């Protein structure tokens, strides 16, 4: 009986997830995302702060709105690790941008778009994550 209930709950959850996905525009359908951007199973990160991760996600969405097909998110969804010919994707520029956000935080300056300090730090962290993607550092974990 427990197995049947568990299976039923899993099917219901999958059905709800499909319904939510169908309501989203094509630009938000993560099942189309690159495998590195999708976590199919529940994951618990004991040492990470949800509010900070949410701020990072908001920074990413803001970048997507700003840069569209040239955004980190759009390129990462395709599994594109190339830096292209954009100045802003060079490692030095990404590091400089992360440093600028961190220094602004240290000066007490709130993020220019979101108006919060947490978003200033999240922007610094997001830039570090982008560099990790472009340098394909996730591949180190599979070795």
Write out pLDDT tens, residues 116-129: 999 999 999 999 99
Judge if pTM exceeds 0.85: no
pLDDT band at 27 (very low <50, low <70, confident <90, very high): very low
Is residue 37 one of the residues assigned to a domain? no
Same domain as 73, residue 25: no
Give the whole-angstrom CA distance, residue 59 versus residue 56. Answer: 5
| 63 plus 82 within the same structural domain | yes
For the chain, give the percent of residues with pLDDT over 90: 49
**Whether residue 64 sits in one domain with residue 6:** no
Instruction: Provide the residue range defining the domain that includes 15.
Output: 1-32
**Average pLDDT for the chain:** 81
Distance CA 29, CA 13 (A): 17
Position 20 pLDDT exceeds 50: no
Give 99's contacts (C-beta < 8 A, 6+ positions apart). Answer: 124
CA-CA distance, 4 to 6, in Å (whole number)? Answer: 5
């Amino acid at each position: 009986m427990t197995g049947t209930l568990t299976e039923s709950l899993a099917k219901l959850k999958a059905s709800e997830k499909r319904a939510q996905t169908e309501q989203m525009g094509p630009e938000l359908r993560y099942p189309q995302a690159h495998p590195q951007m999708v976590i199919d199973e529940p994951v618990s990160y004991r040492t990470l702060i949800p509010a900070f991760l949410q701020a990072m996600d908001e920074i990413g969405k803001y970048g997507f709105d700003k840069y569209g097909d040239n955004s980190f998110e759009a390129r990462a969804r395709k599994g594109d690790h190339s830096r292209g010919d954009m100045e802003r994707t060079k490692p030095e520029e990404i590091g400089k941008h992360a440093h600028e956000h961190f220094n602004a935080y240290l000066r007490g300056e709130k993020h220019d778009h979101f108006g919060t300090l947490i978003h200033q730090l999240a922007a610094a962290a997001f830039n570090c994550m982008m560099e990790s993607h472009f340098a394909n550092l996730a591949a180190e974990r599979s070795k």
